Amino acid sequence: MEILVSSRCNLQSLSEKYIFPEEIRPGKVAIALCESIPVIDLGDIAGQNRANIAQEILKASQEFGFFQVSNLLSNNPIQFYVKYH
């Protein structure tokens, strides 16, 4: 079994330097709820749909800050990067 870095630490409290004073904390932030996160289909990333996929990624990044990827052609991100960049 893999030992995680976080499991090696036996801290019981958080250092004060990592805690914002109450007067500068963000407070109550309204977060919009949604039914699901954006899913970007990368099945045609090397084809004619590349520009549209780039726009979907940009929009999802701006509106949500993240997205889910489907139909990734390679399980190895390095191979994917080298092949399509």
* Mean confidence (pLDDT) of the chain: 76
Q: Count of CB atoms within 10 A of residue 40's CB?
A: 19
Instruction: Give this prediction's pTM.
Output: 0.48
Task: Give me the mean pLDDT over the 4-23 stretch.
Answer: 72
Q: Between residues 42 and 35, which one has the greater pLDDT?
A: 42
CA distances (Å), 6 to each of 10, 11, 14, 23, 63, in order?
Answer: 9, 10, 14, 30, 31
- Whole-angstrom CA distances from 72 to 44, 65, 69, 82, 83 are 9, 19, 7, 14, 12
Q: State the alpha helices, DSSP H only, in 1-85.
A: 5-8, 50-63, 77-84
Residue of higher predicted confidence among 13 and 41:
41
Has residue 11 got a pLDDT over 70?
A: no
pLDDT, mean of residues 16-45: 80
